[in-house]
Structure 1
Amino acid sequence: MQLTLKTFLERTESFLPQNEIVSRQADGQLFRYHYADYCRRTRQLASALARLGVKPGDRVATLGWNTYRHMELYFAVPCLGAILHTVNIRLTDEHIAYIMNHAEDVVLFVDPDLLPTVERVAPSVRSLRHIIVMDDRPAPLGDCDYESFLATGDPDFAFPEIEENSPCGMCFTSATTGDPKGVVYTQRGLYLHTLALCLRDVLAISEHDTVLPVVPMFHANSWGLPHAAVAVGATIVLPGPHPTAADILDLIEAERGTFCAAAVTIGVELYAQLKKKPRDISSLRGLMLGGSATPEALMKRFHNEYGVPILTAWGATEAAPLATITHVRRSVFEAGPEERIKVRIRQGIPVPGVELKVLDDCGKPVPRDDRHPGEVHVRGPWIATEYYRDKRSRDSFADGWWRSGDIATQGSDGSIRLVDRAKDLVKSGGEWISSVDLENELAACPGVLEAAVVAMPDARWQERPVAFVVPLQESGELDPDILSAWLARRFAKWWIPDRFVVVAALPKTGVGKVDKRTLRERAAGLAL
C-alpha cells in the first residue's frame, strides 16, 4: 500500500459519508453538504482537470479563502497526481507573480473577490493556461465558473495509482526578507503528518470533532487540519471570505465547534470580541494558537473566564507545518491548571516522527537548563530538505536537518521555549534581549491587550528595545511609567524598553503575524 492522500478520502467516502461540511458564504449564509457529496464532487473535479489536460506533476494554483470549493481542490489535485500550489492572497502583486512563475502554475482557481489581483498579475505569469473562478455564476475573467467547469467531469472518476514519494503540494514562505521560497510536500510526507495530528498527544483530531480551521488554507496547508479532518471524517466548519472575530465566534457557538486553530493575533481579537459580546464557546475542547509565542496572560484569560485551554505548537512552512507540540505530562496535568499553563506557554517537544536539536553558535547542543539559547534544527519525513529550485538558500539545510532561524532554550524535560527569531533579538551593548519575553510580560499587564517589541537604533548601545502596546479597551490610555514598573518586577533595568508607543492596533503580515519589519521601520524613525 502506498501512503497517499487518496486513501483518506476513500476511507471517509466508504465509512463516514453522512458527516457534514459547513462553509460560510460571502453573504454570511451557511452552505452545508455531506462527505458523500464532497467526495463525489472531488472525483468530478479531478476528472475535469484531467480532461483539461492537467497531468501528474503539473502545478495547479489557488487564490482563495477557506471554503468548501477550496477544500475540494485540497484533495482533487493531489489525488490526480498534480501539485496543489496554495498562493498567499496577502502577498504583493510582485511576489504573487514571482511565485506563480517560479512554480510554473498551469491552472489557477480564484475566488470572485480576488479577481482584481488576477487581472493585474495573470498577464505576467508565463505558464498560466487556464483560470477558473470559484463561483456558480458566469465569470468576467478566465475560462468559466467553477460549477460549469465541474460539470465537465465524471463523478465516478477513478483516481490513478500514485507513488507515495510523488510531490503533491507546494507553499511559499511569506518573504519577510527577499523573495518567497518554495517548499514542496510529498504524498507520503503529508500522509504521515496527517496521522501525527490525529494522535492523542498531538491534536487528537477525531471523527467526534467539529473542526474550525481559521488559519488560512493558503498558508502552510492550513496547519494540516483539512487533511486530518477528511482522514477521520470530522465535521468541518469553514469560515469563508473575510471572516471577522465576531464571525468566528458565531460559528463556534452555532455549530458547537470543538477544535479551532488560528494565529495568536486572532486569539487576541477573539478575546476582545468576547468581552464586547459574550458567546457560548463551552463546546471548545481546545483553541490552538500559533505563528508566535502565546502570552501566558491570554492563556489564563481563556481558561479562567471561558474554560477553554489554549494549545501551543511550533512549526513553519518548511515543516508542513507541525514540528513540536506542548505535551502536558500526566503528573503535571494532575497538578492543576496553573501548572498546565506553565507547560503550554512553551513550544513543547517534537511531534512523533520529528527529530529536534537546539545548537549554539559553535554547533553544539545547548544544556537543558532553560538558560542557554540556540537555534532550533529539525528533520523528519515531512520536513523540507531544500527549497524549490533555489540554490541561494542551501545553508538552511544540512544532512536532512532544517535550520529554522528560531532561537529557543531547552528545559530539563526536553521541551523548547521560543526566545525569538534570530532577526528579532535586540542586541544592546553586546547583550541579547528577548522581544518575546518582554511581549509576554507586557500582555499580562492590566489594561494591555497585546504588545510587540522591536529594536531601535541607538548611538551608544547599538540597539535599544521599543514597545508598541495596544490597550485592552478602545480609546484606553496606558501610562509608560506603569508599564516600565510592571516590567521592572521581572527584568533587569537594561532590558526595559526606552519607549512605549500606544497604538490602536499592531500591523499584521499576510498570515496574521505581527509585522515587525513595519514596526522596526517606525522605530527607526523614533530614533532620529
Structure 2
Amino acid sequence: MIDGAMQPFALTLDKFLAHAAKWRPTSEVITAREDGGIDRIGYADLKVRCQRVSSALARLGVGLGDRVATLAWNTQAHLEAWYGIMGMGAVCHTLNPRLTADHLAAMVARSEAGILVVSADLIALARQIAERVPHALRLLVIDGPATADDSALDALIDGAGDRFPWGGFDETAPCGLCFTSGTTGAPKGVTYTHRSSFLHTLRALQVDVMAISGADSVLAVVPMFHANAWGLPFAAPAVGAKLVLPGRHVDGASLVRLIRAEAVTVAVGVPTVWLGLLEHLEAEGGEVPSLKRIIVGGAPMPPALMARLEERLGVIVQTSWGMTELSPSGVVASAGDPKRSAAQSGRPAVGVDLMVADAEGRRLPEQRTMEGHLHVRGAAVVERYFGETAPVTDAEGWFATGDLARIDEAGNLSITGRVKDLIKSGGEWINPAEIEAVVSALPQVSLAAVIGRADEKWGERPILLVEMREALSDAALLAPLKGRVANWWIPDQVVRLESMPLAATGKIDKLRLRAQYSTDGPT
C-alpha cells in the first residue's frame, strides 16, 4: 500500500508578504517621516519593491546564505531590506545603532557581511564601522540622500527587475542574525531560520498570545534591530494588519500623534516607552481612544506603571517574557486573563516548553510554585550560537536562560530574577528583582534598580538606584521592604538618578550602573 501525501510547502518568510500582497493588497505599511509627514504603501506595492531589493543585491553579488547587515530605524525602507534580503535566501544581520562603533564593527567582522544598509542619519557611524572591519564593507543608504562615496539603495532598485524569484531554498536555511543585548555580558550571535521564525509567527498570532488580526492597526515601537522586532514585521502581513512604523522618534508626543492619526489598536514596546507616552498625556491632556492593547516586554513591568496605563488610557496591558535566543517570544499574558498582573508573564503557547531546575540543571521534582533556574526548549529556541560548534542545550534540548523563575499552579510564569544579578552578601544570596518589584510598585517611582556594591566586611551589599516621579524620603522608599524581604536584604543606600541609564533595547543598563556604582564611586 502506498500512503497518501501532502504538498511540500517550505515554511519560508517570503510567503507572509506574498500572502498579504495577494489577499490584502491595499492594507498599508505606514512610516512616520523625520519632517512629520507620513509615507504609505500597500502590501502589493511593497512586495514589488522588496523583490527589486533582492534583484539589486543579487547584482552586487549577494547569494544564498550571505550576510547583509542593516543599521536603521523602523521604516518602510528597512522593512524592504528585510524582505529583500531574506526572500532571496540571504541573512539579515541587524545592528543596533545605539551601540558603539567598536562593538558594531566586532559583530560585522564576525558575520563577514559585505554590505551594510544604513539610514542616512547614521552614515557617520556606518563609516566608523567600515574603518574598523578587516574586510571591505559597502554602504547602501536608505531614508535620505547618499553622499558621493556611498550608494542610495533607492537608485539601485529603481533600475532593478521586480520579478526576482523568492524561496526555492530549504526552510531550515538561516534568515536572520542578531547579537544579544550584552546588558549582563559579552554579546553572542543568534541565528534565526525561516522555519523557526515562521513557527514563531504562527504562535504569536494565537488568540491567547498577541491576537493580531487583519482589523488591527499595529504600532511596532520595539526596534527592528532587536530580536526580530518581536516578530511584528512577519505577523502583520501574515494577517494583513496595518503596520505602523514610528521611524527614529519614539517620544511620547510623537507616539500620541501617530496613534491618533493611524487609529492604532495594538502597540508593542518596552515599558519605558509607555511611561513616556503616559507622562505626555498626563501633562498635555487628551486621549488615544483607538488604542485597545499594549504589549510590553524586554524589561520588568513596574506594577504602578501598569495600573496607571490601564486606568488612564483604558487599555489592556499584556506582559510578556522572552529573549534574543527565543526569537524572541517565550510567553505572553492573555488579554482575556482576568488575573493578569505585572509580576506574571503568562503561559507558554504550543511550540515552546518551560522547565525549572536547580543550579546544576537538574529538573526540580515540583514544577509548580517552586523557584528555580528557568530552562526552555522549542521550535524557535537557539541550539548553538553563531560561529560556535558546541550546542548550548543539554541532551534533552533544554536551554538555560539565566533567569530565575516560578510557575504558579495555573501555569503562569513569573521571572523572579537574573542569576548574574544576584548579590552575595556574607555568603548568602540576595535577589535584586524582589527588591526592585516592591520599590517599583510605589507610584512616586519611575524606575528602580538594585546592584551590589563592594563591602569590606560582607563582600557585597545592595544599593538602590531610583529615578523618581515625585519626592519621597529614603525611609519612605525602603519602608515597604520591611516584612516583604529579609531585613539584611534591605539596601544600605539610596542613590537618586536624574535619568536611569537604559540599554539600547530599553532595559535598565546594569552594566553601566555597576561600572559607576559598584565601588565607592558616585553617590
1:482-521 paired onto structure 2 within 5 Å = 482-488=476-482, 490-521=484-515
**CA separation in 1, counterparts of 2:433 and 2:379?**
30
1:444-483 paired onto structure 2 within 5 Å = 444-472=441-469, 476-483=470-477
**1:355-394 Cα deviation digits (max 9, x unpaired):** 1111112433333453x42211111111110001135x75
Give the alignment partner of residue 281 of structure 2, picking from 274, 294, 311.
274
**CA separation in 2, counterparts of 1:397 and 1:130?**
40
Give the alignment partner of residue 59 of structure 2, picking from 46, 51, 63.
51
2:340 aligns with: 341
2:204 aligns with: 197
1:403 aligns with: 400
After TM superposition, give the deviation of residue 156 of structure 1 in Å.
3.0
Structure 1 unaligned segments of length 5 or more: list them. Answer: 334-339
Give the alignment partner of residue 36 of structure 2, picking from 28, 31, 35.
28
2:519 aligns with: 525
2:352 aligns with: 354
Give the alignment partner of residue 413 of structure 1, picking from 400, 410, 413.
410
**CA separation in 1, counterparts of 2:83 and 2:56?**
14
**CA separation in 1, counterparts of 2:423 and 2:288?**
38
Bigger mean CA deviation after superposition, 181-190 or 485-494: 485-494
TM-score by length of 2: 0.93
Aligned residue type for 1:439: E
After TM superposition, give the deviation of residue 193 of structure 1 in Å.
0.6
Instruction: Assess if the C-alpha contact under 8 Å between 1:111 and 1:135 holds in 2.
Output: yes
Query: Secondary structure, in 3 states, of the residue corresponding to 1:98?
Result: helix
Structure 2 unaligned segments of length 5 or more: list them. Answer: 1-8
Q: Which has the higher helix share?
A: 1
After TM superposition, give the deviation of residue 171 of structure 1 in Å.
0.6
**1:300-332 Cα deviation digits (max 9, x unpaired):** 11112221121111111111101112246x7x5
Instruction: Assess if the C-alpha contact under 8 Å between 1:368 and 1:414 holds in 2.
Output: no
**1:94-122 Cα deviation digits (max 9, x unpaired):** 11111101011021100011111111110
**CA separation in 1, counterparts of 2:512 and 2:131?**
30
2:126 aligns with: 118
Instruction: Assess if the C-alpha contact under 8 Å between 2:361 and 2:373 holds in 1.
Output: no
Task: Tell whether 2:219 aligns with 1:221.
Answer: no
- Superposition RMSD in Å: 2.0
**CA separation in 2, counterparts of 1:256 and 1:37?**
22
Instruction: Assess if the C-alpha contact under 8 Å between 2:392 and 2:399 holds in 1.
Output: no
Task: Tell whether 2:171 aligns with 1:174.
Answer: no
**Cα gap change, 1:127/1:352 in structure 2, threshold over 3 Å: closer, same or farther?**
farther
**CA separation in 2, counterparts of 1:374 and 1:193?**
26
Number of aligned residue pairs: give it. 513
**CA separation in 2, counterparts of 1:271 and 1:6?**
37
Bigger mean CA deviation after superposition, 50-59 or 360-369: 360-369
Instruction: Assess if the C-alpha contact under 8 Å between 2:184 and 2:420 holds in 1.
Output: no
What is the percentage of aligned positions where both structures have the same residue? 38
Aligned residue type for 1:123: E
Task: Tell whether 2:297 aligns with 1:290.
Answer: yes
After TM superposition, give the deviation of residue 141 of structure 1 in Å.
3.3
**1:211-243 Cα deviation digits (max 9, x unpaired):** 111111000000101110111111011010243
Give the alignment partner of residue 78 of structure 1, picking from 57, 76, 86.
86
Task: Tell whether 2:116 aligns with 1:108.
Answer: yes
Instruction: Assess if the C-alpha contact under 8 Å between 1:253 and 1:279 holds in 2.
Output: no
**1:225-270 Cα deviation digits (max 9, x unpaired):** 1110111111011010243222112211221111111112222222
Aligned residue type for 1:352: V
Aligned residue type for 2:322: G
Aligned residue type for 2:340: I
